[in-house]
Structure 1
């Protein structure tokens, strides 16, 4: 399986790939994988129906965003299973981890923290927020300005918002 980028054509390709993987997993009688793929396709169809039923201004859902939400949901579930008291449920957490790996095969490769840091530094310089020697000039609303520009430049599928936000805070000296 090859990771795809996010675009309208990319979404169609990724959707076709998901359907193909569902067929393959059903033929192989892999109940876990086929359940995951069915759930993902169902979530995407539901999101499409919700978008078309609401006002036409709402954007069409991206399969990448559906996949990212599915990974996040499963990561949270695995963490809860591991934190269960009095006895953690490692068996259920391992099942969630398996599902996460299945889904991640369809997501684009994430950028490293260093790659994100380089882009953030470039944006800070372009916005005139850094002076000589790369020291940051304190500007009210600098975080918002930098994040706004980064949202235009970074693909959400490749640069997780939490990491981008942490890097911006670190470079701007925000707490």
Structure 2
């Protein structure tokens, strides 16, 4: 399980004295714990790896946005810190789908949902997320679905 891998990596980085990596891994563990608490009252509990992947994807997206903002603002030292955190977070994410794999998955989802035009975009995206949620880049997939339905 990814959660156990993160715990092991945290202990390893603490023993190695890598303060930045340890801090990032502790931040990841805290976000996962927050999500666990949030879902305590939920009727349906997601698979543990799915939950961890969702948290990691959200954190990675936040880091990418921060990097862009810091670079636009001329704050390279802060962008570098965010890049370091992103690198640690991405270690635990599964390999994302390539554009070619995404095209094939989109065509399969369109066929499964019987999508005809833009009004069916939500159905196609829901189908994609249910089949490939952990390895799908939502922003890229959305743009590709929009282009294929237009």
TM-score in terms of structure 1 length: 0.76
Task: Judging by fraction of residues, say which structure has more helix.
Answer: 2
Q: Does residue 133 of structure 2 align to residue 147 of structure 1?
A: no
Gaps of 5+ in 1: 1-12, 130-137
Is 2:70 the partner of 1:81?
Answer: yes
Once residues 66 and 149 of structure 1 are traced to their aligned partners in structure 2, the CA distance between those partners, rounded to angstroms, is 21
Deviations 1:109-146 (A, max 9, x none): 000111111121233234445xxxxxxxx547221232
The unaligned stretches of length 5 or more in structure 2 are none
Instruction: Spell out, residue by residue over 1:38-85, the C-alpha distance to the aligned partner (whole angstroms, 9 max, x if none).
Output: 011111112211221xx332535711111111111111221121111x
**Match for residue 161 of structure 1?**
138
Quick one: distance in 2 between partners of 1:79 and 1:144? 28
The count of corresponding residues between Structure 1 and Structure 2 is 147
In 1, Cα distance between equivalents of 2:33 and 2:13: 20
Residue 64 of structure 2 aligns to a residue whose secondary structure is helix
Match of 1:50 in 2: 38
1:90-109 alignment, distance < 5 Å: 90-109=76-95
Aligned to 1:134: none
Q: What secondary structure, in the 3-state scheme, does the structure 1 residue paired with 2:39 have?
A: helix
**Which residue of structure 2 aligns with residue 124 of structure 1?**
110
Give the CA RMSD over aligned residues.
1.9
Residues 1:68 and 2:46 are matched in the alignment: no
TM-score norm. by structure 2 comes to: 0.87
Moved more, 88-97 or 56-65: 56-65
**TM-aligned CA distance change 1:116 to 1:168, over 3 Å:** same
Please give the alpha-carbon distance, in whole angstroms, between the structure 2 residues aligned to 1:140 and 1:166: 12
SS in structure 1 of the partner of residue 53 of structure 2: helix
